[in-house]
Amino acid sequence: MTEITLTHGDAQATVALLGAEARQWRVAGRDLLWPGDPAIWPDISPILYPVVGWTRNGEERVDGVTYPLALHGFARFETFAVETSTPDFARLTLSDNANTRAIYPFAFALAVEYRLTADALAIAIEVANPGERRAPYACGLHPGFRWPLGAAGREGALVQFEKSERPEVPELAPGGLIRATTRPIPLCGRNLPLSDALFEHDALCFLDCESRSLSFIDASGASITMEYESFQHVGIWTRPHAPFICLEPWTSCSDPDGFTGDLFEKPDMRALEPGKRARHEARFVFRPE
C-alpha cells in the first residue's frame, strides 16, 4: 500500500504514505489541490519537519557538530506507517531512524492526522519526544491549491486576512534566508491582490501574524479558507505564471541571513522536553462560487 483514500459524502482525499502528503482533495467532483508538475514544482502538499524554510548552506549545527539539514527538513522524504484509518480519518506516524539521526540527532515520534468533512480538510501535526534530552523542532504545512479554483482565470484573485496585517514582508537573501530589511507589498488592510509580480522574489513571509485565518478567493468567487490557530507565521508562495498558490502555516521560518548559531538558537524553534508532546493543526475549508 502506497496511499490511503478518505471519503465523506461526495468529498474525497488521497494521502500518500511517502511524506504523509495529501495528494488529492476533491469536493463535489472539483479537484482543489494542484496535481504537481516536475517541470514547475513536483510537490503537492508536503509536511515540513523538523525545520521550516531554508537553512544556511543547507546545514544546521547542534552541540558544535554540523548536520546536512536542508530546506523544510526530511519528513517529506520518509515513508510513514498507518496507525489508524477510518473512512474519513487517518493517522500516519514516523519515528527517528538511522537516516534521520544522521541529519537530526534527536529522538522523535511524529504523527500526521487528516480528517475529512463535507467541505473541509483538517491536518494536524503531533510531535512527541521519547528521548532523554530536549529536542528542537519546527513544523508546517505547504499545500498547493489550484489557481484559479474556477473557470474565471488567474486575474482578480486575492488573499483576504482575518485582520489587518503589515503591508510589508521580509526581503529574502539568495538561498531563501531572511534579511532584516523589508519590502512593500500591495496589502490594503485585510486584502492582498495576487499577481505574478508579487512572487518574483520568492515567497511572502508574514511573520507573527495577527490573523488566525485567511482566505484565497479567486475571480469566480470560489475560496479556500485556512484556519491556523496553533501556527504564528504564514507563507504564501507560487512560481510566477504557475497554476497554483501555496497557503503555508508555520511555527518557524528560514534561517536569518548570516545565521551561524545552534539549532536551538534558530528563531522560533520549539524545544520539546523529554516525554512531552505538542500538537499543531490547520483546517482548510472550501466554498464554491
> Is the CB of residue 11 less than 8 Å from the CB of residue 22?
no
- What's 255's domain CATH number? 2.70.98.10
How high is the pLDDT of residue 150? 86
Write out pLDDT tens, residues 51-81.
999 999 999 999 999 999 989 999 999 999 9
Section 191-215 average pLDDT = 97
d(CA 202, CA 207): 15
Burial of residue 212 (number of CB atoms within 10 Å: 0-12, 13-18, 19+): middle
Residue type, 218: D
Cell numbers placing 60: 544546521
- Residues facing residue 31 across a β-bridge: 26
Grid coordinates belonging to 244: 497554483
Query: Any idea which residue has 548559531 for its cell?
Result: 261
Mean pLDDT of 112-126: 99
- C-alpha cell at position 187: 496589502
C-alpha cell at 193: 491582490
pLDDT above 70 as % of the chain: 100
pLDDT in tens, 138-179: 999 999 999 999 888 899 999 999 999 999 999 999 899 999
Domain encompassing residue 132: 3-287
* Whole-number pLDDT of residue 152: 86
Nearest to 23 by CA among 38, 37, 36, 41: 36
Is residue 203 predicted with pLDDT exceeding 90?
A: yes
> Quick one: pLDDT at residue 272?
98
Question: How many domains is the chain partitioned into structurally?
Answer: 1
Q: Cβ(145)–Cβ(244) under 8 Å?
A: yes
- Nearest partner of 71 among 254, 258, 270, judged by Cα: 254
* Residue given cell 499543531 in the structure block: 280
Q: How many C-alpha atoms does 108 have within 13 Å on its Cβ side? A: 29
Res. 134: pLDDT tops 90: yes
pTM tops 0.75: yes
What distance in Å separates the CA atoms of residue 2 and residue 207, rounded to the nearest whole number?
Answer: 35
Tell me the average pLDDT of the chain.
Answer: 97
